[in-house]
């Protein structure tokens, strides 16, 4: 048996079966170990897949030995590979980080199930990113969603239950809309395979069924991606969920939804239909712009730092949507780069907050006074993440913002470029508030140097340093992004 040829399916099946093994062993320590090993395997697989993709362009794997339109095919091109890297990379760091954080935050009887659900979320998201079948996307979306709802509800705060319920309702509506969209397309074409659909759709593109399918798919995915008017579930879900969960979700969940959006818009409907024939690019740009400004302004008014970062996520999603809305090559490159870089910065920031919650059991701004002296390493990492979020040169955030502004100027949309700059100032304000409290206010009496577990610090710093690394050496992320864009736009044969 040749392991390499089976990597596309193993990267999904290994974490899924590991989740089952966790329950079977029913032991906290071994559950963590299984999670860690599965994450490392996925990371190893994704690195290998990226290398293979750069050589052969597209990896196709027919599950069950049935050829594509009949069976389900897994299809990995550069875009999928990029998503896999983001997912499995953050999964590894989160797994290292989880050991101590889960011990502290999750009730003992739920810890095994926590790891199980974490693995299921990861496997579900990875499953969405490797498949080439529209209905299969829905199946794995369900796996990840159900586990996500449960994970959010485990938050320390009682409001976590309400947040989870809110997300459950919104998420279920979103999933149903996606299913309706897929069903409509199936009725009109008789196939579920994305590649096959993209060939058969143009014939029936000018029917009300396909237009309705397009609308349902977009709104369904929009809910999952927290596109602006559909974002209400996100701030609460991120703010009240356990630290491990908010870190992983912030780094990955909405990105995967945006991946699905890109996949449907570009690979399935085709750029002509979705972005130009439908006035969808304009809608995306307007929603994106409102999202950037609205999210940033709301973030300024939050007293809970976790909630603040959640609103900031809404704004960052706005950047990505705006970039997609440009419907141009530099626009897509900027969007993909920002997906990658945003995972890095939000991972860093939420992880740092997790460490603060580990010590103070709260992420209110008020507990953070003087924290720069009592938890210097944690706050330094937070600072790096914050600078990256603002877009200071030398950090990952700068690269994606630079590409976005360039893309906007290319399309001679300089007012929107101005919006980006204003949003950067707004980001500076809300990150600055935290920095001010942490470094320039005295620590309360009696609070001295705080000890935090080394494993958590290591994970946090790997995240933080990767912000700087990918800010200085953007070849890797940029290379894969532009390859992905070329494949999406059909430039390379």
Residues that bind other proteins (CB under 8 A): 1-2, 5-6, 9-10, 13, 16-17, 19-24, 26, 61-66, 69-72, 109-110, 113-114, 116-117, 120, 123, 127, 133, 135-136, 139-140, 142-143, 146-147, 149-150, 153-154, 180, 184, 186-191, 200, 204, 207-213, 215-216
| Nearer CB in complex with other proteins: 72/344 | 72
Element (DSSP H or E) covering residue 76: strand 73-76
Q: Are 70 and 193 in contact (CB under 8 A)?
A: no
Q: Are 288 and 318 in contact (CB under 8 A)?
A: yes
Structure tokens at 129: 């990113």
| Nearer CB in complex with other proteins: 135/360 | 135
Q: Are 259 and 224 in contact (CB under 8 A)?
A: no
* Residues β-bridged to residue 73: 62
Least separation in angstroms between CB 147 and other proteins = 5
**CA-based nearest residue to 61, from 20, 11, 15:** 11
Structure tokens at 464: 């933080």
Sequence-ordered list of residues with C-beta below 8 angstroms from that of 409, at least 6 positions apart, any chain: 417
Coil/strand/helix, residue 490: coil
Rounded to whole angstroms, how far apart are CA atoms 126 and 113? 20
Element (DSSP H or E) covering residue 59: strand 59-62
Is residue 206 classed exposed, middle or buried when 0-12, 13-18 and 19+ CB atoms within 10 A define those classes?
exposed
| Nearer CB in complex with other proteins: 200/359 | 200
Instruction: Tell me the CA distances in angstroms from 178 to 46, 80, 183, 429, one per residue in order.
Output: 27, 20, 9, 38
| Nearer CB in complex with other proteins: 143/408 | 143
| Nearer CB in complex with other proteins: 232/455 | 232
Least separation in angstroms between CB 326 and other proteins = 27
Where helices occur in 230-304 by DSSP H, the ranges are: 233-240, 243-262, 271, 280-300
Least separation in angstroms between CB 123 and other proteins = 8
| Nearer CB in complex with other proteins: 186/402 | 186
| Nearer CB in complex with other proteins: 65/493 | 65
Instruction: Tell me the CA distances in angstroms from 149 to 77, 163, 368, one per residue in order.
Output: 30, 9, 29
| Nearer CB in complex with other proteins: 112/314 | 112
Least separation in angstroms between CB 213 and other proteins = 7
Q: Are 120 and 140 in contact (CB under 8 A)?
A: no
Least separation in angstroms between CB 105 and other proteins = 14
Least separation in angstroms between CB 219 and other proteins = 9
Coil/strand/helix, residue 394: coil
Least separation in angstroms between CB 463 and other proteins = 27
Least separation in angstroms between CB 476 and other proteins = 29
| Nearer CB in complex with other proteins: 123/322 | 123
Rounded to whole angstroms, how far apart are CA atoms 136 and 193? 9
Rounded to whole angstroms, how far apart are CA atoms 277 and 269? 11
Q: 134-153 and 111-130 are packed helices; what angle lies between their axes, rounded to 10 degrees? A: 160
Least separation in angstroms between CB 493 and other proteins = 26
Least separation in angstroms between CB 3 and other proteins = 9
Phi-psi region of 67 (alpha: psi -120 to 50; beta: other; left: phi over 0): beta
| Nearer CB in complex with other proteins: 44/186 | 186
| Nearer CB in complex with other proteins: 149/463 | 149
Q: N- to C-terminal Cα distance for the chain? A: 31
Least separation in angstroms between CB 153 and other proteins = 6
- Using the 8-state DSSP alphabet, how is residue 364 labeled? B
């Amino acid at each position: 048996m040749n392991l390499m040829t089976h990597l596309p399916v193993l990267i999904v099946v290994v974490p899924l079966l590991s989740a089952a093994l966790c329950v079977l062993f029913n032991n906290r320590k071994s559950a963590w170990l299984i999670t860690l090993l599965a994450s490392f395997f996925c990371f190893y697989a994704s690195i290998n897949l990226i290398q293979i993709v750069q050589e052969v362009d597209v990896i196709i794997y027919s599950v069950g030995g049935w050829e594509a339109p009949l069976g389900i095919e897994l299809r990995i091109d550069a875009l999928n590979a990029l998503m896999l890297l983001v997912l499995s990379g953050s999964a590894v760091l989160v797994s290292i980080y989880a050991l101590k954080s889960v011990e502290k935050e999750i009730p003992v009887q739920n810890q095994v199930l926590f790891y199980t659900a974490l693995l299921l979320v990861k496997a579900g998201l990875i499953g969405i990113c490797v498949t080439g079948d529209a209905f299969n996307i829905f199946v794995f979306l369900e796996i990840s969603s159900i586990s996500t709802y449960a994970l959010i509800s485990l938050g320390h705060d009682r409001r976590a239950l309400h947040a989870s319920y809110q997300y459950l309702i919104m998420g279920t509506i979103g999933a149903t809309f996606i299913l309706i969209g897929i069903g409509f397309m199936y009725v009109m074409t008789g196939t579920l395979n994305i590649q096959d659909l993209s060939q058969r759709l143009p014939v029936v593109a000018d029917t009300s069924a396909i237009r309705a399918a397009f609308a349902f798919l977009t709104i369904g995915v929009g809910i999952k991606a927290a596109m602006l008017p559909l974002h209400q579930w996100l701030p609460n879900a991120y703010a009240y969920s356990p630290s491990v969960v908010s870190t992983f979700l912030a780094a990955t969940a909405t990105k995967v939804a945006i991946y699905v959006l890109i996949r449907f818009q570009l690979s399935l409907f085709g750029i002509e239909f979705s972005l130009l024939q439908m006035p969808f690019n304009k809608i995306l740009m307007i929603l994106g712009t409102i999202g950037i400004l609205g999210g940033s302004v709301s973030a300024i008014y939050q007293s809970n730092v976790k909630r603040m970062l959640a609103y900031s996520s809404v704004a960052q999603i706005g950047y990505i949507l705006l970039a997609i809305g440009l419907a141009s090559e530099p626009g897509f490159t900027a969007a993909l780069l920002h997906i990658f870089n945003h995972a890095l910065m939000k991972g860093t920031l939420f992880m740092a907050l997790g460490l603060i919650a580990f010590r103070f059991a709260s992420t209110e701004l008020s507990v953070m006074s003087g924290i720069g002296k009592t938890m210097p390493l944690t706050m330094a990492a937070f600072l790096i993440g914050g600078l990256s979020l603002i877009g200071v040169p030398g950090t990952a955030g700068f690269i994606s913002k630079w590409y976005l502004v360039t893309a906007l100027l290319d399309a001679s949309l300089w007012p929107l470029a101005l919006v980006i700059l204003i949003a950067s100032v707004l980001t500076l304000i809300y990150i600055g508030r935290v920095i001010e409290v942490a470094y320039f206010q005295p620590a309360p009496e009696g609070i001295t140097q705080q000890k935090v577990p080394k494993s958590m610090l290591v994970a946090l710093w790997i995240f933080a340093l990767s912000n700087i690394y990918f800010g200085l050496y953007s070849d890797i992320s940029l290379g894969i992004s532009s390859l992905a864009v070329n494949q999406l736009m059909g430039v390379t044969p």
